Amino acid sequence: MNCTFCRIVRGESPAKVYYQDDDVIVFFDRAPLTPIHLLICPKAHYTDFMDAPIEVHQMLVKTVKRVVTELGEKAKDFRIMINNGPRSGQTVFHLHYHIMAGK
């Protein structure tokens, strides 16, 4: 599969990884919109929000909570963004959550 995020998961493309386990990878966005801008992706490929089963979203939300807790005060106030489909602004068609904190 030639998906950008699948290549990151397989270690074929570089990324500044913040956290990963068997199911999830968290890495810094290459074009951050805020001082803290991380992407949370399942390692398994799902095209978008609607493609993934609820269990995958539960896993991603648990990872969001873990990451913002670890980041502490600097990520106390944050937002989560998910683009679904090209008209929403999705440009990489592998499900991912954005965590953005700071200005």
Q: What is the CATH number of the domain that holds 53?
A: 3.30.428.10
- Nearest by Cα to 48 from 8, 87, 92, 81: 92
Mean pLDDT for the stretch of residues 4-10: 96
Beta-carbon contacts of 71 under 8 Å, excluding residues fewer than 6 positions away, are 36, 101
Report residue 85 as tokens: 């489909």
Mean pLDDT for the stretch of residues 72-88: 94
Concerning whether 37 is annotated as a catalytic residue, the answer is no
pLDDT-based confidence at residue 2 (cuts at 50, 70, 90): confident
Residues spanned by the domain of 89:
4-101
pLDDT tens digits, one per residue of 11-67: 999 999 999 999 999 999 999 999 999 999 999 999 999 999 999 999 999 999 999
Amino acid at 69: T
Mean of the per-residue pLDDT values of the chain: 96
Q: Looking at 37, 45, 94, 96, which residue is catalytic?
A: 96
Residue 1 above 80 pLDDT?
no
Amino acid at 73: E
Q: Tally the domains of the chain.
A: 1
Query: b/e string for 2-30 if b means 16 or more Cβ within 10 A?
Result: eeebbebbeeeeebeebebeeebbbbebe
Beta partners for residue 53, in sequence order: none
